[in-house]
Amino acid sequence: MFTKRLLSGIILVLLALFVVVSGGSILFFATGIISLVGLFEFYRVLGIHKHTLGLLGYLLAAVYYGLLWFDGKQHVEFVIIAAVMLLMSIYVMTFPTYKTDEVTGAFFGVFYVAVMLSYLYQTRKMADGAYLVWLIFISSWGCDTCAYCTGMLFGKHKLAPVLSPKKSIEGAVGGAVGAAVIGFVYALIFKGHMLELENPEISCALACGIAAVISQIGDLAASAVKRNHNVKDYGHLIPGHGGILDRFDSMLFTAPAIFFALTFLR
């Protein structure tokens, strides 16, 4: 099991390096595909992955990515309103086929998975994005590693005993601080390529620290959904890691967190 997890982890890192470094259409379509697969996994947990609600959710996610590709994000508000109207129309016309939580879950899933993950691509498109985009991985995977190590060494107080008994407050603090330190060191090395940031070291440290705190909420939120629906993993697509959402759950939160943190810190 450990060997399988290690090998698939190495392959994931290599794929991430290739896709993110390439950027452009490769990153865009990779992000879109990952979003649709993740949305399918989320809908499968809700039990609507093959229903009309799920099909509409996939369509809405595709429309959103189409707007993103053609720089039409100013129309997203229209898509949101249209989505609510369409979902509620299906709810009314097929009543009582679907429950209220299934309708709201279909709407929520589009934004929870597709929209939030799209900020990986949007961060890469920013000025200096080729370097700033890696802060998403630092604050997500770096936080996970630092939190694990700190928790193993100093963890005494449970962070969320019901959702994740092994996570500790000490580990959470260590993860956030560790991500901030890695972000600082990263900026120290590559600050010559971060021309849009006035104080790259401070900005990257703050962005990674903030996103690391939010990433842990994302991780626990994904666990909460699984607990509510009595499933262990979202899927089995990635050997040893589970599904797309099992591996990218924290990144759903860190991607927009880094994007907006950098936007404000500029």
**Whether 252 and 140 share a structural domain:** yes
Quote the pLDDT of residue 227.
87
- Number of structural domains, the chain? 2
**Whether 50 and 141 share a structural domain:** no
Pair 234, 246: CB distance under 8 Å: yes
φ, ψ dihedrals at 164, nearest 5°: -145, 85
Instruction: State the number of CA atoms in the 13 A half-sphere of 174 facing the CB.
Output: 20
Pair 120, 251: CB distance under 8 Å: yes
Return d(Cα 64, Cα 82) in angstroms, integer.
Answer: 12
**Whether 98 and 133 share a structural domain:** no
For 109-146, give one letter per residue: b (16+ CB within 10 A) or e: bbebbbbbbbbbbbbbbbeebebbbbbbbbbbbbbbeb
Quote the pLDDT of residue 234.
85
No. of helices (H) and no. of strands (E), the chain:
14, 2
Asked if the structure places residue 17 within a domain, the reply is: no
Domain boundary among 90, 117, 144: 117
**Whether 153 and 111 share a structural domain:** no
**Whether 234 and 263 share a structural domain:** yes
The DSSP code sequence of 211-222 is: HHHHHHHHHHHH
Return d(Cα 6, Cα 12) in angstroms, integer.
Answer: 10
Asked if the structure places residue 10 within a domain, the reply is: no
Host domain of residue 37: 23-117
Asked if the structure places residue 4 within a domain, the reply is: no
pLDDT tens-place values along the chain, 266 residues long: 556 666 776 887 788 889 999 999 999 999 999 999 999 999 999 999 999 999 999 999 999 999 999 888 778 888 889 899 999 999 999 999 999 999 999 999 999 999 999 999 999 999 999 999 999 999 998 898 899 899 898 888 888 888 888 889 999 999 999 999 999 999 999 999 998 888 999 999 999 999 999 999 988 988 888 888 888 888 777 666 678 888 888 899 999 999 999 998 87
**Whether 148 and 265 share a structural domain:** yes
Element (H, E) at 259: helix 251-265
**Whether 162 and 242 share a structural domain:** yes
Domain boundary among 80, 95, 117: 117
Asked if the structure places residue 99 within a domain, the reply is: yes
Asked if the structure places residue 7 within a domain, the reply is: no
Quote the pLDDT of residue 214.
93
Return d(Cα 1, Cα 109) in angstroms, integer.
Answer: 31
**Whether 100 and 210 share a structural domain:** no
Give the residue from 112, 111, 89, 91 showing the smallest Cα distance to 100. 91
Asked if the structure places residue 9 within a domain, the reply is: no
This prediction has a pTM of 0.92
Asked if the structure places residue 16 within a domain, the reply is: no
Integer angstrom CA distances of residue 261 from 84, 142, 230, 253 = 29, 17, 35, 12
Domain boundary among 117, 149, 170: 117
Asked if the structure places residue 132 within a domain, the reply is: yes
Pair 150, 178: CB distance under 8 Å: yes
**Whether 81 and 27 share a structural domain:** yes
**Whether 92 and 174 share a structural domain:** no
**Whether 50 and 134 share a structural domain:** no
Quote the pLDDT of residue 112.
94
**Per DSSP, what are the bridge partners of residue 160?**
164
**Whether 140 and 101 share a structural domain:** no
